[in-house]
Structures are given as structure tokens and as C-alpha cells.
Amino acid sequence: MNRCTLGDVAHVVMGQSPDGSTYNKQGVGLPLLNGPAEFGTVSPVAVQWTSEPSKIAKPGDILFCVRGNTLGRQNLADKTYAIGRRLAAVRGREGKADTAFIGLWLRFQATALLAAGTGSTFPNVSADYLEKRTFPPIGVTEQRYIAAQLKTQLAAVEEARQAAQGQTTEVEALVLAIYHDAFADIVPVAIPPVFGVAPENWRWAKLSDLARLESGHTPSRSRSDWWGGNTSWVSLTEIRSLDGRWVEETAIKTNKKGIANSAARILPRGTVCFSRTASVGFVTIMGQPMATSQDFADWVCGDDLEPEFLMYALIRSRNELRALATGATHKTIYMPTLEEFHLCVPKREVQQFIVKDLKAKLAAVEQARQASQAQLKEIAKLPARLLAKVFEEH
């Protein structure tokens, strides 16, 4: 077969931003598209217009992003648009190419285009580069047949993706249901006067009466000799990955000098750490003696309180506790509020039973979540495989 390029079957019109003085939001002139942020789910949605368009996309053109980290994104022009410099209009030549086929081919090319893009800050490609890309040397009739087949297959993949995503959503809802059931449909951590009705044989108690409230500290960052020792130090950097489990060791560590020269304290195994600033509401339990930053409220549980019961109670109450955070830049739950925390709690042997049952149910749900996530990852690979199978053969 003879070699064919995109330029043989299509025109590529590179966008150009009009003079800023011609922009308006009153619908005067042509709707202006500057990038894929305006693509919408079905058709483009312009937020401004220009009375003097520089470059135009016509109805039926493929709107193709040629700059930035969204290089390769595309949509279809449903009417005439002015296009800015982040977009190109790809227009099939009469009788030479099917628009749907070109769009699918461009989708297949997206990975290679990102790798080939040049630019000091963001990748970009030129009209010349696009037009010189090798294009399948097949007729329009065959292109239409292939495009129809691919669209059917990709629609089936999307249906499967939505079903898998639905399963993931169901798993997340199940986790919430498990927590609600474990704590008898009440929010177990609250501040006065907002208390739910305590279940039979449970009681509301001030948390500071059940556990000693501590706060952490950060040794001076300018003193490198106070860092990199053997003392684990819980920080916001790691708390998301530690949420809901015991921490045996942290990646960031301080040492004896760091502890001695700061207000940081070594707290005992079983201390419950609750992030109170920025990433409010994440919880972990110390598996070994360690320290924390000042971003945490730390509770050293007494004889009547199971650490894991407190951890799960805080997780169950997360959304409500986050509402207590204040601050213009970083939301924080301040110490006076933390000192008012109350916990709805049964006897310790009941706490242990609840924890055991809750952990078993959450472990089963986690298996389902991981299976669902693995399925989504595999489904995400299918479109590229389908496109590669077609276009690598032509």
C-alpha cells in the first residue's frame, strides 16, 4: 500500500487567540473555545465570545487539544466556533476520510503525541507534526465500518466501566452502613449539647475523663542533627495512608536530641492520634512509643477505653467533627473544642466485641473494594488495547 498521512486526508487548522479587546460575554460574534475545559460532556460550552475571530472550527470538525497536560483531548464541533491557540480543528477532506475514524485514530495517537510534544513548560504539537503522521491507507467505506465496530466495542467497555464504578460506590456505601450499625446509628463523638440518645447500657462521658489528651510538637527543621534518628514521628505527610490502622513505624523520624529540645513527647503504644489541622479527621494508633507533630490531638486511653473503639468512633464521627474546624486558610479544631469532646461508650468488654465485629466486616468489604478497583484498572486498559489492535494492523 502507498504511504498515507493525516495531511492527505484532512486539514489541520491551528487555533489562534483573538485580540483580548474583542472578547465579550454578551454573545456578540462567535463563541470562543480556548481549551478542553469548555468541551462539556456532549458538546462544547463556550463561556465567552469574540467579535473578530482569528481561526474558526466548522460544524463537524474535530476539536483537538494541542497544548498542555490535556494534549490529545477531543470533542466535536456542533456549530461554528472561534478557536484559541490550545486547540486545532481537524477537518476531513471530501471523500478522503470519515470524521469518526479520524477521531478514533487521534485517540489512539494520544500517547505518542504526549511523548512527542515539545515546549519548555507544557507539551504541544504543531499542525505540521500532525499532518505528517502516518494515517491508515484505507478507503472511506472501510473507515466507516471500522469506526462503527470500534464505537460499539468502546460503548460496551464504557458500560462495563460504569457497572464496576457502581460496585465501587456500593462498597463505599456499605462501609458507611457498617459504621452506622456498629454505633447504633448515633454519632459517637460530639460536643455539648449535640448528643444522640445513648443506646441501652451505653453512656456519654467526657473523652478527657476516659483518656489523657496530649498534643505534639515539631523539632526545629533548621537543625538537621535533630532529625533522622530512631524515633518515629507521626505527621500530616503520612496520615492519609495510616488512617484507620496501627502505625508501627513512620518514614519521618526524629531522635533523642529532637525530643529533648522541643515540646514533642514520646507517647505510649496504643495512643490514638487524630489529625486536627489541614487534613482534619484522619486517625491512627501508635503501635510503638513515638511522637507526633502539633497537628494532632493524641489520646492516651485509660482502663475503661479500648484504643481501637475510640479510633473507629472518631472515624464514624469524621464528617461531624470536621464541621467543628475553623480558620480562613487551614481549617483547625482548636484545643478548647477538643477538650469538650464527649464519647458515647459501653463497657470495655462490649467495646472489644464491637471492635472485633467491625474489623471483620471492614476486612471483608476491603477485599471487595480491592477487587472492584482491580477490575476498574483492567477495564481502563481496554480502550487502548482495542484501538491498538485496529490501528497497528493498518
Q: What is the pLDDT of residue 296?
A: 97
pLDDT, position 321? 97
Q: Which residues pair with 49 in a beta bridge?
A: 24, 31
Q: At residue 57, what are phi and psi to the nearest 5 degrees?
A: -105, 135
Give Cα 302 distance to the centre of its chain.
38
Q: What pLDDT was estimated at residue 198?
A: 95
**Chain centroid to CA 279: how far?**
15
pLDDT of residue 77: 95
pLDDT on residue 122: 58
193 upstream amide cis, omega within 30 of 0 = yes
Delineate the domains of the chain, giving CATH numbers in brackets.
Answer: 6-137 (3.90.220.20), 189-355 (3.90.220.20)
Ranges in the chain, pLDDT < 50:
120
What torsion do the CA atoms of 121, 127, 129, 133 make, to the nearest 10 degrees?
130
Distance CA 208, CA 219 (A): 26
The pLDDT score that the predictor gives to residue 338 is 97
Output the DSSP codes for 105-149: HHHHHHHHHHHH-B-SSS-B--HHHHHTSB-----HHHHHHHHHH
pLDDT of residue 115: 62
User: Using CB atoms within 10 A of its CB, is residue 1 exposed (0-12), middle (13-18) or buried (19+)?
Assistant: exposed
